[in-house]
Structure 1
């Protein structure tokens, strides 16, 4: 079974490596910019001679499966192009918040292969521990996607589009927004000439605690104590919009007080 990859970003980069390591032949990598597809192909290396880098989706055929590892806004556009080339294709997207119906309107055999993880190109990920959430238009396609997922991960869960959308929202809070808080924290450290690394033991313990306690049980700080003097002191140190963010977080923490 040959797999074609559409996309050359963070998810595509990691997924291609994982599929290759699992022994799947890669028909090719397609990107809007040929140089990006060529770069990814060269970075991973040791492909079969038939594996290509291209900017034309047509060149990926005759791939048995096409995985769309592109941004959410591009999935429909790519699907529409593919449906004109080969509506019988087995097409899979990797999005957390895009419904299966977007593909099923164009392809009878389609599905979702969503890895719940944060990906950066220069940081390797242990795929065996990355949970994959799958969905498909029919049992045959579901079995195919399940087989692919289990060959690269130990954690595979069937999940419908609405559940996956909610989980993706939760992931944005748990990962993307938290990381932005690190950005804000780093800026405060820089203002007084301190190294962000001084916060790492605190960050590590905070992360470790929610493996044993619920997030609500793990909550500490001036907001949960309703320490107004410290809250006002902190706000006085901030400009906008950070002051507003601080107040919104403090108010919301108090709403969830046990």
Structure 2
């Protein structure tokens, strides 16, 4: 149920909050990957839109040092623009490193991939539980309730990722996707769309319940409009320029 009443002050705050929680949600998601990688003893690095992990000994490996130097010498070129000799040398070095430092020991690579979505889902469930608990009491939404709303809506990441993949498939003919859920499905031997589809349905059910059952009616219309705008702004601001700038700065 909606009341088509726009709340100006509230509608100014919500987009800003969505921008902030888009950034927080992205970093927490990557920290979910990192937590699992740390558990398996890997070295890790956090970036604005991703993370990497590798064996501790690899930093001192001669092949790794040579590979790093090659990329440094060609830092102004894309890989496709490398000379054939450089490409051949990169391929040999990568094969050597793959032999010495396999990432998939005891399925650790799969578990690291699962860590990100698992963190997102866990955070959403925590927010959802807080909302259900506080719903027993009859009062207007407080700050804690709104924080719980944004935590619960972390699950919208799954909806966005699915829609983004569909868009890439329909308009750019992309057939292979690098998202965590696609990778997990493929690794487990399923169709790559299986887990993303399950997560899409889960994300829609949870987020729609939060918006249309838990958020007070007087806020819903403004929240939906402002939230949509804020979510897009958060994505384009963080992934477009701010995230890379912040990580270069620090």
Q: TM bucket by the smaller chain?
A: under 0.3
Greater share of strand: 1
Higher relative contact order (CA 8 A, sep 6+): 2
TM-score, scaled relative to structure 2: 0.28
TM-score, scaled relative to structure 1: 0.27
Greater share of helix: 2
